[in-house]
Amino acid sequence: MKSFGQKPWVLPQPVLIIGTYNSDGTPNAMNAAWGGQWDAKEIMICMGSHATTENLARCNEFTVAFATKETMVASDFVGIVSAKNDPDKIQKTGWTAVKSENVNAPVFTDFPMTLECRILRKIDETEAGYNIIAEIINILVDENYLAEDGKPDIEKMQLITYEPVRHGYHIIDKRVGNAFSDGKNLKG
């Protein structure tokens, strides 16, 4: 085994698109890979110092969309350009923003699945940012991405994951097993 020391290489990492409103009411979005499920109804996100961070200081509600192969280029764009420097940031993505019915944040309808979230607490707050713990108020899924049983069909979504070793985006592809089930084959 080769050692690589301390790296932010937890695999796989999500490509979360955080939606907020700027002070002038226009929608903003940023890319976040450092986040995940925190508790059954909560999400955590490591938030640096961005326009989004300022938006969250004014309003503690936001949306989280899961990036797809189709939205990949614009999803990367919102991760390398700040609304602080480019007022046309969202216009350049070509995404459509509608107001969430449950939180004061934009829903980008170009994504198959979106979480509507409200901040519960901020942990380890410094000038460089903080870790957000937020309640998942509701989950929206575009009907085109539902399976026959009415649940989200993840394979249809063509979600992407961030690969931090070489900074790649990879597609989440075929189902290969059944969780909490296939392992039973090894039970005595």
Residue whose Cβ sits closest to ligand FMN: 79
Nearer CB in complex with ligand FMN: 136/146: 136
Choice between 38 and 152, CB closer to ligand FMN: 38
Please report, as ranges, the residues that interact with ligand FMN according to CB under 6 A. Answer: 28, 30-34, 46-48, 50-52, 76, 79-84, 129, 162
CB of 67 to ligand FMN, least distance (A): 9
Shortest distance, CB of residue 13 to ligand FMN, whole angstroms?
8
Comparison of 13 and 141: residue with beta carbon closer to ligand FMN: 13
**SS3 of the chain:** CCCCCCCCCCCCEECEEEEEECCCCCEEEEEECCEEEEECCEEEEEECCCHHHHHHHHCCEEEEEECECCCHHHHHHHHHCCCCCCCCHHHHHCCCEEECCCCCCEEECCCCEEEEEEEEEEEEEECCEEEEEEEEEEEEECHHHECCCCCECHHHHCEEEEECCCCEEEECCCCCCCCCCHHHHHCC
